[in-house]
Amino acid sequence: MKQVLLIDDSNIFRDYIRSKFESRHVALSIGVGMLDSISKMRSMVPELIIIDFLSAKAFLFDILESKRTDPNAKDIPVILLAQKIEKKDIARLAEYGVRKIIPKPLRIDQLFSMVSPILGVEFDIDNTPCILEARVNDNIIFIELAQGLNREKIDLLKYRIKELIDLYGLTLPKILMMMTDLSLSFIDAPNLEHLMNSILYDQGVRNRNIKILTLDPFVRDFINGSKEYADIQIVTDLSKAIDSLLKDVNPTDDSPTVISERILSMDKTREEDSSSLQMRFKSELESLKASAREIRIAVVDDDIVIRTVLGKTFQSIQANVDQFESGEAFVPAGLSGKYDLVFLDLMMPGMNGFEVLQNMRQNGIATPIIVLSAISQREAVLKVLSAGVKSYMIKPLKPDAILKKAIEVLQANL
């Protein structure tokens, strides 16, 4: 059996690529840290090594040096995944013979077009145009689907949902699927079923906590006509859907049912107390800390207290933080595209957050933005979604919540 060594911190990518490789009888091993990665490279002598640049940057050249000096490993091809690489690092990589570099966000078809000839294995890859993103806001998982149904992205979605559930400790996750611009037919039924099964993949997800925002009659008939999707609600009004998901459990609800559901959702396979959830967060935080020096963050808020909280939070993990007290001050720097993440206040004097967003969109800047808002939940969701932003936070802000949101957004940028 052919073997591949993967050095990458992303659980989503690891789980997805493992399932893809195993479907073609290719074994995948994960390298964790320098010593483990070098040990597995020497003992396995895999046919291919795939390395995420950011995950392995601290020890990347130690691995490559060990590979170059090992007669059994020196000729193993390396594929590097990288969001950005400095010129000096590109030059060093060339010295070690690393010339296959795939930019991130990652295109799955591009990756497997490189992998296939190396392994001599053909992979079936769905190239259907598709935008599929998942975010958590106010403990609701927002899923946005546009253009089409792509099986590769749908496969990734189930791991993404599980990652978000674990990161935020969502016992009974609520999901809003927004697919307003899709027009599907019976030909799409297998992929639509695959999508629904991916959403329901995590055992904590309950049908009655899922709402699908769509105007498509085929989607409505498909969901309403399938027993396995009973209690999933089709909605056509975003405002009403959000109102329903944000409301507290109705006191008139059947309490025994609610209580038993909460208990059943915490069975042995997902039994976690607050300490184990905290340990998972700490693990994700360590990964963020390892790459923090390479991350540039902008904080745009007229409130000095908010700027200070965000600044100190990210400085504590040694990330690079620039603070701006107005939209006007931020825009020239924001248009440079040098930031990996932006925290943006909506309500500021002068140029407000919405005007900043519009300015960046008009100039083709796709930097991930987390909106900060002091307005009510429902108003925030509607305003933010209408402005095309996927993530927001309600003030006041807490350091742990800030870091979790940063982890969520940065990890999504595959």
For 145-171, the pLDDT digits (tens) are 999 999 999 999 998 999 899 888 898
Task: Give the pairing type, strands 26-30 and 2-7.
Answer: parallel
Fold (CATH) for 2-119:
Rossmann fold (3.40.50)
Q: What's residue 291's pLDDT?
A: 64
pLDDT (average), residues 181-196 = 93
Q: What's residue 55's pLDDT?
A: 84
Q: What's residue 259's pLDDT?
A: 29
Q: What's residue 280's pLDDT?
A: 44
Q: Select, from the ranges 1-15, 61-75, 76-90, the one with the highest average predicted confidence (pLDDT).
A: 61-75
Tally the residues of the chain: 414
- Give the pLDDT confidence of 333-351 residue by residue, as tens digits: 999 888 989 999 988 899 9
- Give the pLDDT confidence of 107-128 residue by residue, as tens digits: 888 999 999 999 999 999 999 9
Least confident stretch, 51-60, 87-96, 372-381: 372-381
Structure tokens, 13: 């990518």
CATH 3.30.750.24 domain range(s) in the chain: 131-270
Which of these, 156, 19, 37, lies nearest to 28 by C-alpha position?
Answer: 19
How sure is the predictor about 38, in pLDDT bands with cuts at 50, 70 and 90?
very high
Sheet holding 140-146, edge to edge: 131-137, 140-146, 174-178, 210-213, 233-235
pLDDT (average), residues 87-94 = 87
Structure tokens, 373: 């808002």
pLDDT (average), residues 257-263 = 33
CATH 3.40.50.2300 domain range(s) in the chain: 2-119, 274-412
CATH number assigned to the domain with residue range 131-270, chosen from the 4 options 3.20.20.70, 3.30.750.24, 3.40.109.10, 3.40.50.720: 3.30.750.24
We find that the CATH architecture of domain 274-412 is: 3-Layer(aba) Sandwich (3.40)
